[in-house]
Structure 1
Amino acid sequence: MRDMMGLMKQAQDMQKKMAEMQAQLDTLEFEGSAGGGLVKLVMTAKNVLKSVKIDPSLMVQGEEEILEDLVISASNDARNKAERAVQERMAEMTKGLPLPPGMPKLF
């Protein structure tokens, strides 16, 4: 019975920590860049695009595909940074808990 109470307490603590982590992640912004910094964008951990900066030298008529590819690359860069940050925080939070392998990735 005491073990069950301990598990319930651990689950409640984990839920509280998860809510706190989510609130922190909502405030974090991640910068992605491509083309040696010619395209930069800022995105939240929830993949909300906050800003895009494009160097004027890329505004060349007939070469729109290059610019499009750079925007996609910068977006992927920011998203990867956000995902790594979430995974690192989850690993930190679940350290020492007897979770099945891969469980933190589910959150």
Structure 2
Amino acid sequence: MTDFTKIIDKAKELETKMRESQENIKKIRVEGVSGANSVKIILDGEGNIQKIEISDEILKEDKSILEDLIVAAHNNAKTNLKSKTNEEISKATGGFGIPGFKWPL
């Protein structure tokens, strides 16, 4: 029975750490850039856009170029968010992976 108790205790500990991790993830802010920093996008930990910065110089470009730069900056921010989220989850789980489970984002 002692082994089972240890397993339950570890599961409770992991649950607590994951809750803390989820709260920390919500606080994350990441930046994505494109076009030599002419477009910047800030995402929060849930993947919502918090801010878009567009340089005055790039506004003179063709609309399709600006659209492509916005998409590229957003994709860069999502990549950065995924990395930061994985770091935070690894802290909570000690690198413990769950087979077949894919983290969001």
Q: What TM-score do the two structures reach when normalised by structure 1?
A: 0.85
Shift in CA distance, 34/25, structure 1 to aligned 2, threshold 3 Å: same
Superposed displacement of residue 8, structure 1: 0.7
Q: Percent identity?
A: 26
Superposed displacement of residue 93, structure 1: 2.6
Higher relative contact order (CA 8 A, sep 6+): 2
Query: Do the aligned residues in 2 keep the contact of 1:31 with 1:43 (CA within 8 Å)?
Result: yes
| SS at structure 1 position matched to 2:60 | coil
Q: For residue 65 of structure 1, what is the aligned residue in structure 2? A: 64
Q: State the superposition RMSD in angstroms.
A: 1.9
After superposition, give the CA deviation of every residue in 1:43-67 in whole Å (9 maximum; x if it has no partner). 0121110000001112136x11110
> Aligned pairs, how many?
104
Q: For residue 50 of structure 1, what is the aligned residue in structure 2? A: 50
Q: What TM-score do the two structures reach when normalised by structure 2?
A: 0.87
Unaligned runs of 5+ in 1: none
4+ residue stretches of structure 1 with deviation over 3 A? 99-103
Unaligned runs of 5+ in 2: none
| 2-structure distance, mates of 1:75, 1:54 | 13
